[in-house]
Amino acid sequence: MAGVTQPKDRSHFILPDLGEGLDEAELIKWRVSVGDEIKEHETLAEMETDKALVEVPSPWTGTVSELCGAAGDMIKVGAVLVRYGDGGSSTEAVRVESPQASETAAEEAGEEDAGTVVGSVSGELTVSDRFTRKNEEDSNTEQVRGKSLATPAVRRIARELGVDINLVAGSGRGGRVTASDVHAFGHGGASETSPVTTGFTPQAVAIPADLPPVDAGNVVETIPFRGVRRKIAEALDRSVKTAVHFTVVDEANVTDLDAKRKEYAKVLGAKMSMLPFVMSAICKALKSHPSLNAIVDDAQSQILRKDAVNLGCAVDTEHGLMVPVIHGANALSIGQLGQAVGELARGCKDRSIERERLAGGTFTISNVGSYGGMFATPIINYPEVAILAVGRAKEKVLAENGRMFVGNVMPLSLSCDHRVVDGAEGARFLNTVVRLLENPSELID
């Protein structure tokens, strides 16, 4: 994980990057109070990132003189989280920094020692109790010839807004580009002589000022968009505003495959769903239709086709939808795919899954059938270009060569990014998946 600058005088502790590329985290609960004497590695607070519940330890021993935030606050990476002093009263009021103050602190973080955070314990992803400080150039800031000076978090914001950060004039210390500079540029703050980015890069859109009024009466609960739910909302919003969705649907007669599934279950001595078989069919179909095993780099106006299939599998949890990734799924057997699905699902539900296993997907499958659904219009897991929703298999009366019979039919719904995948190719890919599911001898080799 990327480190952040920590002060040499140890008068305050700056929130580190709790996950690769994160720019903020939600403060869930303080584990210390003002006036407490704490030791190095003792937990200061519980924070929630987009996917994980994280314990943040103190990098050194000292007395807490100020807690810079309250439960529910979004704290910027690089903002002051805790201040240390010679002592303090436990009844002293906790100061809550405004988002603007937190952002300013994040942008003006010093240029001394860098800290690194890693680790996990007992069902929760945690920050390790070791902060390695090194006397070298700040690893959280880069300045290369022809490039602007900015932190990774600010660069990430620029990518999400479709802004070329090298065109943004920095107002921070030493000409550093701040998050405010990027937002101003993305909302039209650039001069008329500024170059214009090319391609179909999505541009930031301001919230309309003429939104209809909201009826706030009879509200039983107010749920803020925070944590996993906020990240889900942001990801879906970005996908529908960027990818040009189209959906094609079909059905597969999986009667023979269901019999083969039961045989596999007996051999393995464990329950086995249809999902690993569908995953195997997807991997084989992607080999014949490589245009769907790709991601879009909108910032560079490029389509990046992938070799290995990194198969994302949508998992419903009490914290919200999560999409863990089975890396190199095309190299795994059906039994190995089934085992991987179980491990990822457990990791998502108890929040112990590593962050690296939640990124890097090239194609996603969503099993809507596990909750009784049939057909769907799934939203692409951007920047991927396709997602397949699998419905619940049901018995239906079928006809073939003038003969009627009862078969087990599985509904399939494929959504693709029409900028990358033509409608005909999407239909051909789905036909290949159907053929493989209907002919287990081809699927199981």
289 is known as an active-site residue = no
Strand partners, 62: 38
**Separation of alpha carbons 323 and 381, rounded Å:** 9
CA neighbours within 13 Å on the CB side: how many for 94?
15
The catalytically annotated residue of 183, 187, 327, 418 is 418
Task: Catalogue the E-assigned strands of 193-318.
Answer: 245-253, 294-297, 302-305, 311-313, 315-317
Three-point CA angle 431, 434, 439, nearest 5°: 125
**Separation of alpha carbons 380 and 237, rounded Å:** 11
Distances (CA, A) of 169 to 78, 132, 206, 379: 21, 33, 21, 36
Pick from 162, 244, 167: nearest CA to 202: 162
Pick from 390, 427, 182: nearest CA to 275: 390
**Separation of alpha carbons 360 and 182, rounded Å:** 26
Query: Tokens 């920095």 — which residue?
Result: 170
Active site residues per annotation: 418
